Amino acid sequence: MLKGIDPIINAELIHALMLMGHGDQLVLCDINHPAQTIARQTTYGRLIDVSGCGLERAAEAILKLFPLDTFISAPVKRMQVVGDPEGQVPIFAVMQAVIDRSEGHPVCIEALERFAFYDAAKNSFAIVRTSDPGPYGCFIFSKGVV
């Protein structure tokens, strides 16, 4: 245990966050995402679990340490609702509020079609799986600089 670091941030997660550089991407997902399968294809190569924690709590803890990329128009991506690209589910508004609060201003979140999201996740640095039951709790954060 360390002072000032949220206990949700376990040793493996902080290690991965510290290894990441500007432009690297971190996937934060719910329990429905095929995280274990996709994690093998990421730079980190294995899944990071934050069991017992939902998306909102995990995002709050991570975004206290993780600067979002300010050099791109949409530093956060999310999965679209299948069959309804303009569809909304409650987690979208919850995460938008968490992200905006962490940055102190509105942040653009880009919606990706399901398989485009999976492709982007495969190219990410690491995948962090929460215990959130979903659905559509799949987000990609692009890392910026401090």
- Of 24, 30, 49, 69, which is the active-site residue? 69
Q: Which of 38, 54, 58 is nearest to 46 (CA)?
A: 38
DSSP letter for each residue of 3-41: TTS-TTS-HHHHHHHHH--TT-EEEEE-TTS-HHHHHTT
Distances (CA, A) of 26 to 1, 76, 123: 23, 10, 10
118 labelled catalytic? yes
- Of 44, 118, 132, 136, which is the active-site residue? 118
15 labelled catalytic? no
105 labelled catalytic? no
Q: In what order do the strands lie in the sheet with 109-112?
A: 48-50, 126-130, 25-29, 138-142, 76-79, 109-112
- Of 22, 44, 84, 100, which is the active-site residue? 22
**Catalytic amino acids?**
22, 69, 118
